């Protein structure tokens, strides 16, 4: 299996005044720097799914790929873009992570791959338990590129929620431990940014 890493940053960040929130700093690094570094420890090749002028990410020295479907169709469009790039470059699967989630596990790939492969799953999605309730984190997933055509058809048909499409293909849910903090904590608001800065400072 040849796996491409895809960082999803194609959203419009409405709750953060439309800025590239992944470029905000927590500690000495930007959120995106932390995400790139963490994913680079797990995969050799990484791309960034982002819309708009790609030059604003030129310092990262990784390929920036826009949505292949116009109109901000959500993270499914980013997953599709990653699949299409993977197809053209000889990858069989993609591992997606969100650009605003700096504390995701360093064993994300190995756990999704190992547990998903036990059932020959085409899709494996990360999850945690919070107050005994299972919470899925669908932007963190391992996806077979063989599903690209089906995904594109579903997006054109109006499907926007990742789990609605993923469950059509019997997506495997992989549970990650929460420990002290939620590893999939994401930064959507200014208060989230403050919390992330506090977590960095506590290390």
Per-residue DSSP letters for 149-180? HHHHHHHHTT---HHHHHGGGTPEEEE---TT
Q: What is the pTM of this model?
A: 0.93
> Range with the lowest mean pLDDT among 4-18, 97-111, 177-191?
4-18
Is 82:65 a contact under the CB 8 Å cutoff? yes
User: Cα separation of 7 and 36, whole Å?
Assistant: 8
3-201 — its CATH code?
3.90.550.10
* Sequence-distant (≥ 6) Cβ neighbours of residue 109 within 8 angstroms: 3, 42, 43, 95, 142
Q: How do residues 183-194 score in pLDDT, each as one tens digit? A: 999 998 889 999
Q: Nearest 5 degrees, angle CA 136-CA 142-CA 144? A: 130
Written as six digits, the tokens of 26 are: 């927590």
**Averaged confidence pLDDT in the chain:** 91
Give CA 145 to chain center in angstroms.
15
Give the residue extent of every domain in the chain: 3-201
Q: How do residues 126-166 score in pLDDT, each as one tens digit? A: 999 988 899 999 999 999 999 999 999 999 999 999 999 99
> Is the pLDDT reported for residue 99 higher than 60?
yes
Residue 123: closest CA among 109, 143, 138: 143
User: Cα separation of 14 and 126, whole Å?
Assistant: 25
Give 119's pLDDT tier (boundaries 50, 70, 90): confident
> Range with the lowest mean pLDDT among 11-25, 144-158, 169-183?
11-25
């Amino acid at each position: 299996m040849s796996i491409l890493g895809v960082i999803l940053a194609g959203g419009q960040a409405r709750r953060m005044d439309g800025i590239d929130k992944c470029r905000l700093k927590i500690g000495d690094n930007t959120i995106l720097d932390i995400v790139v570094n963490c994913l680079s420890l797990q995969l050799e090749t990484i791309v960034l799914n982002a819309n708009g002028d790609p030059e604003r990410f030129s310092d990262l020295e990784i390929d920036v790929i826009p949505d292949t479907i116009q109109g901000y169709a959500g993270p499914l469009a980013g997953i599709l873009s990653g699949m299409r790039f993977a197809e053209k470059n000889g990858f069989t699967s993609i591992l997606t992570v969100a650009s605003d989630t700096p504390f995701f596990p360093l064993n994300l790939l190995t756990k999704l791959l190992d547990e998903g492969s036990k059932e020959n799953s085409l899709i494996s999605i990360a999850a945690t338990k919070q107050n005994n309730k299972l919470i899925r984190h669908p932007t963190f997933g391992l996806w077979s590129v063989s599903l690209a055509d089906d995904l594109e058809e579903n997006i054109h048909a109006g499907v926007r929620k990742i789990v609605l499409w993923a469950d059509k293909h019997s997506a495997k849910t992989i549970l990650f431990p929460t420990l002290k903090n939620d590893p999939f904590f994401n930064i959507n608001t200014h208060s989230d940014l403050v919390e992330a800065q506090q977590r960095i400072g506590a290390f």
